[in-house]
Amino acid sequence: MARIRKRSIQLSKLCSFACCRSSSQDEHAQIGQKGYSRVVYCNEPDSQEQIRLRYRGNYVSTTKYTAVNFLPKSLFEQFRRVANIYFLVVACVSFSPLAPYSAPSIILPLVVVIGATMAKEGVEDWRRNLQDIEANNRKVEVYDKSSCSFRQTKWKDLRVGDLVKVCKDEYFPADLLLLSSSYEDVVCYVETMNLDGETNLKLKHALNVTSFYSSAESLKEFRAVIKCEDPNEHLYSFIGTLYFDCQQYSLSPQQILLRDSKLKNTEYIFGVVIFTGHDTKVMQNATDPPSKRTKIERRMDRIIYVLFSTLILVSFIGSLFFGIETNNDLSGGNYTRWYLRPDKTTVFFDPRRPAVAAFLHCLTGLMLYGYLIPISLYVSIEICKVLQSIFINQDQAMYDEEMDRPAHARTSNLNEELGQVHTILSDKTGTLTCNSMEFVKCSIAGTLYGRGMTEVEIALARKRGEQLTEQAPIDASESKKSFKGFNFRDEHIMDGKWVSEPQRDVIQKFFRVLATCHTAVPEVMGPDEIMYEAESPDEAAFVIAAREVGFEFFARNQTSIKLRELDPTSGIRVDRVYELLHVLEFSSARKRMSVIVKNPENQLLLLAKGADSVIFERLSKEGRAYEERTKEHIEKYSEAGLRTMAVAYRELDNDEYKTWEQEFLKAKTSVSADRDVLMDELACQIERDLILLGATAVEDKLQKGVPGCIDKLARAGIGIWVLTGDKRGTAINIGYACSLLRHGMKQIVITLELPEILAQEKEGDKEAIAEASLNSIKLQILKAKSQVTEESSTEFGLIIDGKSLTYAMDKNLVNSFMDLAMRCATVICCRSSPKQKAVITRLVKSVTGRTTLAIGDGANDVGMLQEADIGVGISGVEGMQAVMASDFAIAQFRFLERLLLVHGHWCYRRISMMICYFFYKNITFGFTLFWFEAYTSFSGQPAYNDWYMSCYNVFFTSLPVIALGVFDQDVSARLCLKHPLLYQEGVRNILFNWPRILGWMFNGLLSSIIIYFLTTNSITGPAFRKDGQVADYSVLGVTMYTCVVWTVNCQMALSINYFTWIQHLFIWGSIAFWYIFLVVYGSIPPTLSTTAYKVLVEACAPSILYWLTTLLVVIAALLPLLSYRAFQIRFQPMEHDRIQIQRRRPESTEYDATQRRLSESSEARTSSELPSEVRIRIDNLKASSKRKN
């Protein structure tokens, strides 16, 4: 499972909506042609023909590297980064006399940095390798023809054509063709959790012709040839033909058992291996997730380029002066600086060819000032991000106890982007709502049943300001036995009371439909306990409702459904068997499902349920008795945020059925490409003249804490879009329920359900409709825009449906539409298709240029999640597809609040501070080298010992930065949540804007100037000790370096706000380590330590001047930042400064009180309006950010 999670399954291949069936060619006819060339000789893996085909074995390797290619490949990966290439080139050139320092001292840090990254890669890959070994060595029983029995074989030794036996609860080792199973009707149940995360069981059944081979003996004779499609990644399609006994049989996905899915509820199956190893569908599906980069990283790259330019500029200036100085060495035929022996010089210092010398010196400069580019930046950021994600994963406040699911950062490289989210695009079902459906109400024969109010109704009532009557919401205490999926209370129906209702026939039929028209599988857990495995929670809710009312569905097989019903006349529970003739399955296009059954009275019935619109248009004249009332009820239900479904039936005429069935069976077994179309048409033929029974209402419960969370996110100034497939009414109501739409907010509705459009639609001229629709949408958008501009003080909520959206996306309109949408606080797109969701996401991303976050839980959200800058998957009930396509997975929507406002904010702050600081420290260091150069006539002599320099990035300054990047908190988690406005710092990117970055760089420059000039003037010249010794090159180097180490580490201490023992240890430890290093390095023999020999012990430590200079320089270098911070915090505080000070001030109680009142009011939800002051501030922020754009 863990292995699967690492991969992401590509969206289009999984989504039920996907255009899998796009090609309408006759696919079966293509067998044997290009793309359909695979041939499997069943039970003859050793035959010449099979071996000649050379299909791959079943060995799988998911690793990125092998033992052989690890080194070259991972090195290649490393050097794809431009900074690393630079350092590699520098390392190579460092062996030449051009180098200002010794080669090992530049190679060591490079090796450390590259080694650390490679080690990380290696460890990750080793883990994958272990999983591969485990999978490859699993055992499976393979048929051995010679002994007529099965023997254990490792998975990796499996070959195409092998016959295998898979037992209950085992995984399939490869893609198999199902031959026979322990069931007589050759079915088996399969759990595909590892493929698509769906936990429900799927039914597979073998061809009848192969059902005979159900024992080891009989298999000996089995010979067949399969010709089928080539390996591909489509999980839900398979095209092939079985040549058996001189006959052709077409194969469908129904007979295919996929690798990594599991056999359930079936003793054993026999199968033929078709695809092995990397040819299997699941392996074909394994692709790397789309790599997303954060805005900060992209900007960081630009900064690196800026630094490169600075580097080149500085080197150029240096070489210019060097050229001049070198030229001056030869003046008028005399050598001036004779001590340099210009008469006997090399090309690098030749005064006769100063231009060449200057050019070569420029290369030296590029190496020397290379310290401007932080070598360890990338690796440090990577380390920090990995640790940050560990914190996200470990956060108890984002851990769902009920489901036992912690938050999971699936990619670690988007952490800081979480702090910059501008717009959230959210799915509704399963994200805002639980997707645990509860059957709450129904309308049967025009009568309403089911009492109690849904959460949405309560919210609506509040919105209207009605007093809540005694109709309190149904609480758990009232229901003695409460079932998941059932929350229906009505004394007229429950406990068999329906018998005495006037319309009891209709009620009976109604619940019979619910109990039979489905594809659920019962699982008898105990004498009175039956669980249902259903494809959707709605369906489970119906079956459970039927059971609770007294129509207990308890067994099903291929041909029959058994119910235990209450006989209304006798009052006894009797078992009734319905012969199941056909199932016309549900699809999103059909929006309905129906079954054809023969009841015990030998009546042929078609039982149907489906979307009201679809069912109503298929009613017979007689069947419309309750239409009006039911419609009314459905309207009411959807207002209350309930999902509705109409229920109808039809009695079939025997002859009609017979003729229809023949055609249907023909269509079903046909192998032409339009089979599905044909079947749909035939289904349409029989699904007509229905008689309406009533409608059901299922509540899609809001997830815990959703309104509060949305409220917080809105206060943080994040725009929220809801993209849902629901009806407009439902969507608006859910909007109110979860405070997306607030009291006092004006609604702008853009729709095509206008009389004139509807009238045109009746006429049916498609072009005219399109044109009229487009114009209408255009008008509506323009009108709305002027309205929004006029009333700039009110908040607006935009509601648009999917159909209108297609027109609004027209390229002439899209800009004004997006403009309108961006000005609204909330946007709800209802009736939108999954594809539209992805398109909208892309549009929002490209139009605003800001960070978008998509959150969803189902397969239909995959496109949206991958399209958005950040995809957050809800690891809920609906399966794992969304999670596998996501960057972060959380168990509940409400955790988003913490993920963004706390972790997002922290990570954003940490990473941006960290990068700024990195540049600061390297500029400080690099420029001290440059100033020193100016005093060596730019000869390229570094101010420091080689090894001081190479340890700078790796040892003396790296750990504090990492501590900053991992642990720093400007304000605590509690305060982050209390002051959501703080989040705007990330959205407006004020911690990583150019002024700030350049400010830090300038600070670095300033520090370097202060360090260099104060140090040189204090130390050099006269004696620096009582014993009359003067400071030489090595003493100056040590003193300056000491000041640099102190300064950059203390700057760090100044700019972080959060000191735990870790920060103290790292910061002060780094400084202490410098002294320790100096002592140790200084005590090794002078031929190795050169200028560092005993420099601290003998020269510097006894000198009071050395210590006094350190103090002076460090304080002087800190003063600019300290004073800037002091004034800025006091007179122009940023949001986090304000909060920090408030926390400190005792007199802030008053402010706190208002804050508390505000938060209380929002929690209590008595007033769903945003407090005006908060709104004004958000508006100001938005306005200023707009100006910046």
Partner 1 sequence: MTDTDRGTQRDRHSAFSLFTQQSLPACKPVLTPEWVIMTFLFIGFIFIPVGLVTLRASHSVVEIVERYDIGCVPEPFRIDKVSYIQDDSIPKNCSLSFKVPKYMKAPIYIYYQLDNYYQNHRRYVKSRSDKQLLHGQNEHGISSCQPVEVNNDRPIIPCGLIAWSLFNDTFTFIRNRAELKVNRKNIAWKSDRGHKFGKNVYPFNFQNGTLIGGGKLNPTIPLSDQEDLIVWMRTSALPSFRKLYGRIEKDLDVDDVVVVHLMNNYNTYSFGGKKKLVLSTTSWLGGKNDFLGLAYVFIGSSSVTIAVVFTLLHLLSPRH
Restricted to residues 365-424, the positions that interact with partner 1 (CB under 8 A) are 390-391, 394-397, 399, 404-406
The site map against partner 1 for 680-709 (x = CB under 8 A) is ------------------------------
Pairwise CA distance, residues 596 & 701, whole Å = 32
The site map against partner 1 for 1039-1058 (x = CB under 8 A) is ------------------xx
* Residue number with CB closer to partner 1 (173 or 960): 960
Tell me whether residue 852 is annotated as binding.
no
Residues between 1085 and 1124 that touch partner 1 (CB under 8 A): 1085-1087, 1090, 1093-1094, 1098-1099, 1103-1105, 1108-1109, 1112, 1115-1116, 1119, 1122-1123
CA-wise closest residue to 877 among 701, 645, 637, 739 = 701
Tell me whether residue 1069 is annotated as binding.
no
Residue 905 C-beta: closest distance to partner 1, Å: 12
Tell me whether residue 1037 is annotated as binding.
no
Distances in whole angstroms, Cα of residue 791 to Cα of each of 760, 794, 795, 1099: 34, 6, 9, 75
Tell me whether residue 837 is annotated as binding.
yes
Residues between 1066 and 1085 that touch partner 1 (CB under 8 A): 1085
CA-wise closest residue to 642 among 445, 442, 927 = 442
* Residue number with CB closer to partner 1 (341 or 783): 341
The site map against partner 1 for 847-886 (x = CB under 8 A) is ----------------------------------------
Exactly one of 1059, 1154, 1156, 1160 binds partner 1 (CB under 8 A); that residue is 1059
Tell me whether residue 153 is annotated as binding.
no
Residue 1018 C-beta: closest distance to partner 1, Å: 5
Exactly one of 337, 504, 590, 629 binds partner 1 (CB under 8 A); that residue is 337
* Residue number with CB closer to partner 1 (140 or 890): 890
Q: SS3 of 153, please?
A: strand
* Residue number with CB closer to partner 1 (690 or 949): 949
* Residue number with CB closer to partner 1 (339 or 529): 339
DSSP 998-1009: HHHHHHHHHHHH
Residues between 883 and 922 that touch partner 1 (CB under 8 A): 906
CB atoms within 10 A of CB 420: 28
Q: SS3 of 1097, please?
A: helix
* Residue number with CB closer to partner 1 (262 or 845): 262
Tell me whether residue 1143 is annotated as binding.
no
Name the β-bridge partners of 143: 150
Tell me whether residue 609 is annotated as binding.
yes
Which range touches partner 1 (CB under 8 A), out of 504-512, 837-845, 860-868, 1034-1042?
A: 1034-1042
N-terminal to C-terminal alpha carbon distance within the chain: 45
* Residue number with CB closer to partner 1 (293 or 1125): 1125
How many residues touch partner 1 under the rule CB under 8 A: the total is: 95
* Residue number with CB closer to partner 1 (580 or 1112): 1112
Q: SS3 of 791, please?
A: coil
Which element (helix H / strand E) includes 335? Answer: strand 334-335
Distances in whole angstroms, Cα of residue 948 to Cα of each of 614, 921, 1072: 78, 15, 14
Exactly one of 1030, 1076, 1080, 1176 binds partner 1 (CB under 8 A); that residue is 1030
Residue 315 C-beta: closest distance to partner 1, Å: 14
Tell me whether residue 428 is annotated as binding.
yes
Exactly one of 465, 755, 1028, 1146 binds partner 1 (CB under 8 A); that residue is 1028
Tell me whether residue 1156 is annotated as binding.
no
Residues between 341 and 360 that touch partner 1 (CB under 8 A): 341, 343-346, 348-349
CB atoms within 10 A of CB 1009: 15
Q: What is residue 577's DSSP assignment? A: E
Residue 1097 C-beta: closest distance to partner 1, Å: 8
Contact 897, 709 (CB under 8 A): yes
Residue 172 C-beta: closest distance to partner 1, Å: 23
Residue 810 C-beta: closest distance to partner 1, Å: 46
Exactly one of 1018, 1047, 1162, 1168 binds partner 1 (CB under 8 A); that residue is 1018
* Residue number with CB closer to partner 1 (290 or 1021): 1021
**One-letter amino acid of 1052:** M
CA dihedral 424, 428, 429, 433 (to 10 degrees): 90
Exactly one of 317, 458, 614, 973 binds partner 1 (CB under 8 A); that residue is 973
Place of tokens 């009011």: 1161
Question: What are the residues whose beta carbons fall under 8 Å from the beta carbon of 1173, sequence distance 6 or more?
Answer: none
Please identify which of the residues 427, 538, 700, 887 carries the catalytic annotation: 427
User: In which region does residue 937 sit, left (phi positive, over 0), alpha (psi from -120 to 50) or beta (all else)?
Assistant: left
Contact 321, 375 (CB under 8 A): no
Pairwise CA distance, residues 853 & 907, whole Å = 16
Pairwise CA distance, residues 693 & 957, whole Å = 76
Tell me whether residue 819 is annotated as binding.
no
Q: What angle do CA 1029, 1030, 1034 make, to 5 degrees?
A: 115
Residues between 1120 and 1159 that touch partner 1 (CB under 8 A): 1122-1123, 1125-1127, 1129-1131, 1140-1141, 1143-1145
Contact 937, 451 (CB under 8 A): no
Exactly one of 1031, 1048, 1050, 1178 binds partner 1 (CB under 8 A); that residue is 1031
Tell me whether residue 724 is annotated as binding.
yes
Rg of the chain in Å (alpha carbons): 37
Contact 153, 144 (CB under 8 A): no
CA dihedral 1090, 1092, 1098, 1103 (to 10 degrees): 140
* Residue number with CB closer to partner 1 (343 or 771): 343
Tell me whether residue 539 is annotated as binding.
yes
Q: Where are the alpha helices (DSSP H) in 395-489?
A: 455-464
Pairwise CA distance, residues 416 & 394, whole Å = 17
Question: What are the residues whose beta carbons fall under 8 Å from the beta carbon of 1051, sequence distance 6 or more?
Answer: 917, 920, 921, 1003, 1007, 1117, 1118, 1121
Residues between 938 and 967 that touch partner 1 (CB under 8 A): 939-941, 967
Exactly one of 795, 914, 1037, 1043 binds partner 1 (CB under 8 A); that residue is 1037
CA-wise closest residue to 867 among 880, 878, 850, 854 = 854
Residues between 68 and 107 that touch partner 1 (CB under 8 A): 100
Contact 1039, 1106 (CB under 8 A): yes
Q: b vs e for 679-709, b when ≥16 Cβ sit within 10 Å of the residue's Cβ?
A: bbebbeebbebbbbbbbbbbbbbbbebbbbb
**One-letter amino acid of 842:** R
Contact 418, 849 (CB under 8 A): no
Tell me whether residue 643 is annotated as binding.
yes
* Residue number with CB closer to partner 1 (526 or 1028): 1028
Residues between 251 and 290 that touch partner 1 (CB under 8 A): none
When asked if residue 131 is in the footprint of partner 1 (CB under 8 A), the reply is no
How many residues does this entry show for the chain?
A: 1189
Annotated active-site residue 689? The verdict is no
* Residue number with CB closer to partner 1 (723 or 1044): 1044
Strands (E) in 802-841, as ranges, are: 826-830
**Residues noted as catalytic:** 427
Binding residues: 427-429, 539, 586, 609, 643, 724-726, 831, 837, 857, 860-861
Binding residues for Mg(2+): 427, 429, 857, 861
Binding residues for ATP: 427-429, 539, 586, 609, 643, 724-726, 831, 837, 860-861
